[in-house]
Structure 1
Amino acid sequence: MKQLDDELGVRFLAMGCGGDIRLAGVPMDEARALAELAIREVLRIEYKYSRYRSDSIVSQINAAAGNGEFIVLDDETAQLMAYADKLWDFSEGLFDITSGVLRRAWDFKSGRVPSTAQLEALRPLVGWRQLELVFDVQISSTSVRLTRPGMEIDFGGFGKEYAADRAAALLMGKGVRHGYVNLGGDIRLMGPRPDGEPWDIGVAHPREADHAIATMKLSSGAMATSGDYERYMDVDGHRYCHILHPWTLMPVMFWRSISVVSSVCSAAGALSTIAMLKQDQAPAFLRSQGVTWLGVDQSGQVCRGAP
């Protein structure tokens, strides 16, 4: 933990990325305890929804794919599944949490582009409409079933953003009014600096690690970034990134990154990811949403928009 005058900055690792919690205007002893509480909340969400953990609810749902079994969901998971359903509908099918199965073909550590046959073999497993959500009014519970063997869901498209929102909400519930939660560049603010000035939030440079390409001055709300620099491989002069289009089964290539400012991190993250998937239609889409955004196209040109 690092003390900076009247601020406490805590760095940690979670969800496969670096985290940073910044608290200001809170006594140091109290701030340390609050930061630890927020970190535990982030880790709780990671453990509960990680596809890498065999005991997570996501792994339980995926393991039952195609066997006809419905998995009963707790309220939190049911709400996240409902959110995924809304995002699929809102994005006209672009934001699809069943498309993570494509990583079986897209192994970015291999340095090899999968064949058309490899990708087409996975196409039948991609499709939100092949997932069944059922609400039982008698016991007020929601259940889910993946109808095809081999199908998977993956909350990676909004997991970090949800965790940032939850951690920040927990801190605000404890009276924190100045600071932010940052999970790998997905940021939820709890309020301005104690003197009322905004925080300077850097936007990651998509080609220069540990550098910012721009700075946003923010006092509230959230900012999230989607880009082609998180998980990728370069093959024959082309960069193939982890953001995979559920229809073409190919990585998106129009933008290097898109950052969006919104009221909560979950919304900012969803909008930035959908914008990446919309490719050349991203500016029109983001204008229609009335949000502030910053994009870097494949030539390196910075594009901006504001309400």
Structure 2
Amino acid sequence: MLPDGTFQFAFFAMGSPCSLCLYAKAQDMAKEIADAAIEEVRRIERKYSRYLGDSLLSGINRVARTGGDIAVDPETAILFDIAFRAHERSDGLFDISSGRMRQIWNDAIEAIPDDADIVALLGLVGLGKISWQPPQLSFAVAGMELDLGGIAKEYAADRAAEICRAKGSQHGFVNLGGDIAVIGAHPDGAPWRIGIRDPFGSDGAIATLFIDGGGIATSGDYERYWSVEGRRFGHLIDPRTGWPVQGLPSVTVAADTCLAAGMVSTIAVLKGQAGPKWLRESGAAHLYVETTGALGGSILLDQSLTGL
């Protein structure tokens, strides 16, 4: 139950059910703040959606398909800086050019693909094939495609939280399909209780986290996957092989921002069986679920994530 003075707004964006929880003195004040935050989420979606033909990202991908150069605006340059740093930090696993593999791995898939088809597309994957000299992107190999799906939603959550704070709301959180940016703790200083979904489908949460700032993101294969010929394939693709990674079913990370949390959780899943070791070495506050259902991670030692 939400405390008095807290208002919740549900909406749909970026392919996910979303919500915004705000504390305000009056409902009309809360709605004004929520409308501005939701519009910021929609602005980012319009700009970076791969599904909208008139988005900036679609324009970039038209250049990528033919080869050549394109200069981007400062906001987009920040996101590409982050993407290239994540690529380096993950030893090449976090790769925004992996979206090219959607030609094979998509909701229309009916049979396990041939290795030859995978190998043919791999020649069009790899950030090492792209030159990034801000603000200029250069595609030496024609036929590539970029996908900011691993960045844009988390960035949008952080931006929406910033909008709320700028408009005077100091208490609440933004939830974009499970990626959460905290605006501030409850008015009495108590942290928010965030339930972590069971990746194996039970109704209850596998853990409850307490957080008064920063962001939380969860990555895994329990929501987005394909069942093909009796086998289950997650949506995260290993850019080295072209095949979906067989990693941890669920990884939750808490960090200073939702964007930072999302990158770490995604990399951990892409690391496959090495994910737990990589998480420990990263120093991030984390919780993971193994294929056996066992829980692990630093959050188990201290579930109060205050002061992020």
Could you tell me the TM-score, scaled by structure 1's length?
Answer: 0.93
Correspondence 1:286-297 to 2 at 5 A: 286-297=279-290
Name the aligned partner's letter for residue 175 of structure 1: G
- CA displacement, residues 187-216 of structure 1 (integer Å, 9 cap, x when unaligned): 010111111111110112212176422211
Q: Hey, what does 2:101 align to over in structure 1?
A: 102
Do structure 1's residue 172 and structure 2's residue 165 form an aligned pair? yes
Residue 87 of structure 1, CA deviation:
0.8
SS of aligned partner of 1:118? helix
1:67/1:237 Cα in 2 relative to 1: closer, same or farther (>3 Å)?
closer
Q: Hey, what does 2:145 align to over in structure 1?
A: 152
Q: Hey, what does 2:305 align to over in structure 1?
A: none
SS of aligned partner of 1:172? helix
**Which stretch of structure 1 is more off in the superposition, 105-114 or 190-199?**
105-114
Determine if contact 1:146/1:152 at 8 Å carries over to the other structure. Answer: no
Out of 223, 227, 237, the position equivalent to 2:220 is 227
Name the aligned partner's letter for residue 195 of structure 2: G
Do structure 1's residue 132 and structure 2's residue 131 form an aligned pair? yes
Name the aligned partner's letter for residue 286 of structure 1: L
Correspondence 1:151-300 to 2 at 5 A: 151-208=144-201, 211-300=204-293
**Which stretch of structure 1 is more off in the superposition, 172-181 or 229-238?**
229-238
Residue 304 of structure 1, CA deviation:
2.4
Name the aligned partner's letter for residue 121 of structure 1: A
Residue 100 of structure 1, CA deviation:
1.0
**How far apart, in 2, do the equivalents of 1:68 and 1:116 lie?**
26
Q: Hey, what does 2:4 align to over in structure 1?
A: 5
Could you tell me the TM-score, scaled by structure 2's length?
Answer: 0.92
Determine if contact 2:214/2:256 at 8 Å carries over to the other structure. Answer: yes
Q: Hey, what does 1:139 align to over in structure 2?
A: none
Name the aligned partner's letter for residue 278 of structure 1: K
Determine if contact 1:106/1:113 at 8 Å carries over to the other structure. Answer: no
SS of aligned partner of 2:238? coil
**How far apart, in 1, do the equivalents of 2:295 and 2:140 lie?**
43
Do structure 1's residue 16 and structure 2's residue 15 form an aligned pair? yes
SS of aligned partner of 2:249? strand
Do structure 1's residue 33 and structure 2's residue 32 form an aligned pair? yes
Q: Hey, what does 1:73 align to over in structure 2?
A: 72
Percent of residue pairs identical: 43
1:119/1:256 Cα in 2 relative to 1: closer, same or farther (>3 Å)?
same
Residue 65 of structure 1, CA deviation:
1.9
Q: Runs of 5+ in structure 1 lacking a partner?
A: 136-141
Residue 26 of structure 1, CA deviation:
3.9
**How far apart, in 1, do the equivalents of 2:285 and 2:217 lie?**
11
Q: Hey, what does 2:296 align to over in structure 1?
A: 303
SS of aligned partner of 1:258? strand
1:188/1:125 Cα in 2 relative to 1: closer, same or farther (>3 Å)?
same
**How far apart, in 2, do the equivalents of 1:126 and 1:103 lie?**
11
**How far apart, in 1, do the equivalents of 2:17 and 2:281 lie?**
32
Determine if contact 1:25/1:194 at 8 Å carries over to the other structure. Answer: no
- CA displacement, residues 1-54 of structure 1 (integer Å, 9 cap, x when unaligned): x99631100010000001110001443211111001000000000000001111
- Runs ≥4 residues deviating over 6 A: none
**How far apart, in 1, do the equivalents of 2:11 and 2:265 lie?**
24
Do structure 1's residue 54 and structure 2's residue 53 form an aligned pair? yes
1:134/1:241 Cα in 2 relative to 1: closer, same or farther (>3 Å)?
same
